[in-house]
Amino acid sequence: LPLPQRLARYVIDGTKEGLFADLDAALATMTPLDIINGPLMDGMNEVGRLFNNNELIVAEVLQSAEVMKAAVAYLERFMEKSETANKGRVLLATVKGDVHDIGKNLVDIILSNNGYEVVNLGIKVPPEQLIQACREVKPDLIGLSGLLVKSAQQMVVTAEDLRAAGIRVPLLVGGAALTKKFTLTRIAPQYEGPVLYAKDAMEGLDLANKLLD
Ligand code: B1M
């Protein structure tokens, strides 16, 4: 198989055998982010399709997730890091009821490498925990991730709860089940502060920079 297809295959098959050598080979011509957004994401999307068709079970998808995480962790050391620190503090979480964290952790890596201090609260974070952390951390931006359809609704509830707690720190939202339209028509009206939608981690960084730089 050609290199890009091989890289997608590691994710689809959930195997790391040969992965790191092939990542090194890919790094000769591609940036770490292009490798993640290209062949590795292609693999993940295929996993999602197979899972949807009942051709993969959860345990197999977990193995694919492990490979994706290992690849991202390996590639992180080759990413460009900005020298400027302290562009702002970001509180990051996957919303209540949702365990998907690969995309959120990618946002963490990219923001951290570009001068932001990120406090990552992890997965399944209920609004109360977010509100509590907000008071302690005093972030300049709150980032919410969610991949399930029900997570989009959970973001609406989270925005309402944050507003009720008097919080108006800008919100950055992202994740597969979300759209810009849903963000603007359903989440934003429930919140006092600005609400921004990012389709991927890089756009998240761009939006954070526009807002806080
Ligand atoms: Co699940 N899962 N999963 N899963 N899983 C999806 C999301 C699904 C679409 C698969 C499918 O059926 N085709 C489907 C959702 C259906 C729906 O609601 N419409 C699904 C389901 C159903 C489930 C379970 C319910 C399955 C079950 O138990 N029966 C269950 C849910 C558990 C729960 O959350 N309560 C479940 C569990 C799992 C695993 C644990 C096995 C595993 C997650 C492991 C982990 O994350 N640690 C898993 C995986 C791996 C997937 C798929 C295959 C891949 C997700 C992924 O990591 N993509 C996924 C199918 C798919 O997405 N194609 C699927 C790679 C990642 C880099 O992309 O997270 O989208 P993503 O992030 C992107 C953008 O979305 C954006 O930037 C990133 C790119 O740069 N982004 C942000 C994300 N967050 C952002 C935040 C931002 C900005 C941008 O600012 C703050």
> For residue range 109-157, what is the model confidence (pLDDT) as tens digits?
999 999 999 999 999 999 999 999 999 999 999 999 999 999 999 999 9
Tell me what ipTM this predicted complex has: 0.98
| Statement: residue 85 has pLDDT above 80 | no
What percent of the chain clears pLDDT 70, i.e. is strictly above it?
100
- At 82, is the pLDDT very low, low, confident or very high (cuts 50, 70, 90)? confident
Mean pLDDT calculated for residue range 166-174? 98
| pLDDT score for 83 | 75
| Maximum distance among all Cα pairs of the chain, rounded to whole angstroms | 55
Annotation says 151 is catalytic: yes
Q: Which of 64, 100, 108, 112 is catalytic?
A: 100
| pLDDT score for 86 | 86
Query: Is 112 known to sit in a ligand binding site?
Result: no
SS3 195: strand
End-to-end CA distance of the chain: 44
> CA 190 to CA 163: how far, in whole Å?
7
The Cβ of residue 79 has, within 10 Å, a number of other Cβ atoms equal to 16
| pLDDT score for 84 | 73
- Give residue-wise pLDDT tens across range 89-101: 999 999 999 999 9
Q: What's the pTM value of the predicted model, to 2 decimals?
A: 0.96
| pLDDT score for 7 | 98
Question: Is-contact 154 98, C-beta < 8 A?
Answer: yes
Query: Is 108 known to sit in a ligand binding site?
Result: no
* Angle, CA 173 vertex, CA 71 and CA 78 arms, to 5°: 25
| pLDDT score for 177 | 86
Annotation says 64 is catalytic: no
- The Å distance, Cα 100 to ligand 1 centre, comes to 5
| pLDDT score for 4 | 97
- At 36, is the pLDDT very low, low, confident or very high (cuts 50, 70, 90)? very high
Cα-based torsion angle of the residue sequence 179, 152, 132, 88 in order, rounded to the nearest 10 degrees: -10
The answer, yes or no, to whether any atom of ligand 1 lies below 6 A from the CB of 198, is yes
Atom of ligand 1 nearest to the CA of 58: 41
